[in-house]
Chain A
Amino acid sequence: MELARQENQLSRIHKLVFIAILVSQALVLSYIERLIPLNFYIPGAKLGLANIVTLTSLYLFTFRESLFLVLLRIMMTCFIVGSFASFLYSFAGGMLSFFAMYLFIKISSEKMSTIGISIVGGVFHNLGQLLMAAFIIKNIRILYYLPFLMLTGVVTGCVVGISVKYLLRYLRSTNIYSKLKR
């Protein structure tokens, strides 16, 4: 009885530490992304490397745990490199893409790979950001950029999806995974 309780607690600590590591990795990825001088000449277009962490967490953790991780990541990123305006954009995009990806993983039930899910995430992230932007500047015409962002979303979604595929394969071969799934 006592042993089982301790085991359970240990597993929770494992999870907590792993979530903390993932959040800090997302922060580093956001920072690296800012260092890459990639300009698509479209507001909102970016690589979205932090989505690697979000998508990985969706495959490893429960819904509530991943949601907690995403919220933590968005807040921490904005405290460190962003402003209040960038928080609103990241929040709208991050939440919409999170729920869309969760839904698609549930619906497609293994018939769609990480690449497809990550493309869904990328496109919905852009959609969320554009809607927030339309709300802030009170001008719906900004949705003109949506088709452009859908194209960049497909390309960056592929990059992120392939990264997640290899990351998950690696994690499953380590003992971290078995400890998390206990």
Chain B
Amino acid sequence: MKKLDLVLIVMILTIAAVFFGFNYYKSYLVENSNSDIWAEIYVGGELNTVIPLKNGEEDYEIMIESDDGKNVVKVHNQGLEVIEADCPDHICESSGFIDKPGQIIVCLPHKVVVEIKGEAKEDINGIS
């Protein structure tokens, strides 16, 4: 291990930390501004389904069918997870439950992307 190796590692970790911090900050803004949170499901780049998450009291499941196969998405506790998929790798199932804006679940073989979105109101009056 040479000095330049350490410099490189610190650089990469810093870039990753900036990404993480930015994501965290965005979801923090949304969570504290009492705005809407919803999930968008894309199949092959096109918007397939929009699921509101804030007011959904009851748990339910929806089936996302594409040309390549199907994924079952379960909506509960103001978030969602993929509970079943007939793809070979099952990475989307092991991704688990997501409920924060910016988080995503991807099923590569089926070209399915589930993303949680939220509109952060630029509420700066209270601070300034």
Interface residues of chain A, those whose CB is within 8 Å of chain B, are 39, 41-43, 85, 108, 111-113, 115-116, 119-120, 123, 133, 136-139, 141-142, 144-147, 150-151, 153-154
Residues of B within 8 A of A150 (CB): 12-13, 15-16
Decide yes or no: A142 and B104 within 8 Å by CB, A39-B94, A85-B109, A113-B1 being known contacts.
yes
Find A147's partner among B20, B94, B115 (CB 8 Å cutoff).
Answer: B20
Interface residues of chain B, those whose CB is within 8 Å of chain A, are 1-5, 8-9, 12-13, 15-17, 19-20, 23, 42, 44-46, 89, 91, 94-96, 102-104, 106, 108-109, 111-113, 115
Residue in A closest to B2 when the chains form the complex, CB atoms: A113
Residue in A closest to B6 when the chains form the complex, CB atoms: A116
Residues of B within 8 A of A142 (CB): 104, 106, 113
Q: Could you tell me the distance between the alpha carbons of A169 and B3 in the complex, rounded to whole angstroms?
A: 20
Least CB distance, B70 to chain A, in whole angstroms: 16
Residues of B within 8 A of A85 (CB): 108-109
Least CB distance, B1 to chain A, in whole angstroms: 6
A123 pairs with B12, CB closer than 8 A: yes
A137 pairs with B45, CB closer than 8 A: yes
B12 pairs with A119, CB closer than 8 A: yes
B106 pairs with A137, CB closer than 8 A: yes
Q: Could you tell me the distance between the alpha carbons of A122 and B104 in the complex, rounded to whole angstroms?
A: 23
Q: Could you tell me the distance between the alpha carbons of A151 and B1 in the complex, rounded to whole angstroms?
A: 18
Decide yes or no: A137 and B111 within 8 Å by CB, A147-B20, A154-B13 being known contacts.
yes
Least CB distance, B82 to chain A, in whole angstroms: 12
6 contacts between A and B (CB under 8 A): A115-B1, A123-B12, A139-B42, A144-B104, A147-B16, A154-B9
For A111, A112, A138, A139, which residue has the most chain B Cβ atoms within 10 angstroms? A139
Find B102's partner among A112, A137, A144 (CB 8 Å cutoff).
Answer: A144
Residue in A closest to B17 when the chains form the complex, CB atoms: A147
B106 pairs with A43, CB closer than 8 A: yes
